[in-house]
Amino acid sequence: MNKLKFVLGLGLSLSVLLAASHGWSYSGKHGPEHWGDDFITCKVGNTQSPINIVSSMAQTGAKNITLEYKSENATIENNGHTVQINYPKGNYAIIDGDKYELLQFHFHTPGENAIDGKIAPLEVHFVGKDSKGKYAVIGVLFKEGRINGALQQVIHTMPTHANSTHHVHHVKINELLPKSLESYQFSGSLTTPPCTQGIEWIVLKEPISASKSQIEALSKVMGHNARPLQKTNNREIKAN
């Protein structure tokens, strides 16, 4: 499979800072239907995320994925839009030989990407960047079930007020990942302003469990922070 070609680097970093300087939210006059007023790509982009993945339409030929994530001390912040864990250097997702260093992971309630029309109650996004400035996001969906140890760490340490940061020790990151790395892969965008495109998206097929009370605890702090589904526009989706 040909590798996706896109240039982000400093431009993406600056655009994210620009987005932070504008008021946006998930409802009301600054909600998703109005993001395009300040961030034109949110309105006119043709490879926007999240999407509904129709499994029967997925093609073969997905890239191989290896995750080299380990337990680390990290910082956890409530940035007013999500609960985000900022990770130290040295943790990687290897996608067809390309190494994407993990920068952070964050949560959405409910989930954003759908599979065959079904949206999960919770989704975590692992955001990585390679040495050339290219970005990849790995999405993991949750199902309601048993308590998740790593999620419990997050809940116990997360700031409940916006623009606050705490420290979290020995993050059990691998408990936020399923055993199988089979996935759906496609080109997409940031799911928040400025909706930058050219992001390599990987949505893992196998969900992981979290208890109802854990999902509710995150939702209580973050609120509804999921962008509505966007048009697929005949995008190629590959699977393994």
Rounded Cα distance between 20 and 98, Å, is: 29
Name the residues annotated as catalytic: 81
Are the CB atoms for 165 and 154 separated by under 8 Å? Answer: no
Pairing verdict, β 197-204 and 183-189: antiparallel
Please identify which residue in the block is written with the tokens 């020995």: 170
Rounded Cα distance between 163 and 77, Å, is: 7
Rounded Cα distance between 10 and 160, Å, is: 31
Measured in degrees and rounded to the nearest 5, phi and psi for residue 103 equal -95, -45
Are the CB atoms for 199 and 135 separated by under 8 Å? Answer: yes
Q: Counting Cβ atoms within 10 Å, is residue 59 exposed (0-12), middle (13-18) or buried (19+)? A: exposed
Extract the tokens encoding 18. Answer: 């620009």
